[in-house]
Amino acid sequence: MKRIAVLVSGGGTNLQALIDYKLKSGEIVLVVSSKEGAFALTRAENAGIKTLTLPRKNFPDSKSYSEELIQLFLEQDIDVIVLAGFMTVLDDSFCAVFKGRIVNVHPALIPSFCGVGYYGLKVHEEALKRGVKITGATVHIVTPECDGGPILAQKAVEVRDNDTPETLQRRVMEEAEWVILPEAVEKLCAKL
């Protein structure tokens, strides 16, 4: 069983999808939040998973924050790291230490609506503004290039005429993110 750490910043719906999936090749052993009071921590605690809050604001820069996470994950023998709604940019050194073992879920079909500045509702606002008929979600390996790593899984979701950024965001989560993230994590754990 691979030891998995999940990095979160908010409500933890992607974390809940991972918990509910019942991974066979990996086990979530630690959930770390960059924000105090994130509901994702409650979800983890309810599932009996160890939690830690490591506020980004307590560190002077991305490098020192990343170094703290590297040390923590090495001490905990973490094999796979999942960024699940994690709203903190990590230093390149983090990607180097855990190369090929960090996954992220992005709420669009990469290479569309991705890269620096494309996160949360902004992705769905841009998709609607552009008039796309299909959007979706992507799970990819994290590299120093924002949203630029190898794609592990994608799932398309239809854009409806009456969609708002909020309704589209919810449907992308329910129909794509919560489906492909656990599947991709399971495949990566089985492969390592």
Catalytic residue ranges:
106
> Distance of alpha carbon 14 from its chain centroid, rounded?
7
User: What is the DSSP track for 73-139?
Assistant: HHHTT--EEEESS---PPPHHHHHHTTT-EEEEESS-TTSS-STT--THHHHHHHHHHT-SEEEEEE
Place of tokens 């050194």: 93
Which of 67, 83, 64, 85 shows the shortest CA–CA distance to 75? 67
* Pairing label, strands 50-53, 26-33: parallel
| CA–CA gap between residue 70 and residue 63 (Å, rounded) | 10
Q: Give the gyration radius of the chain's Cα atoms.
A: 16
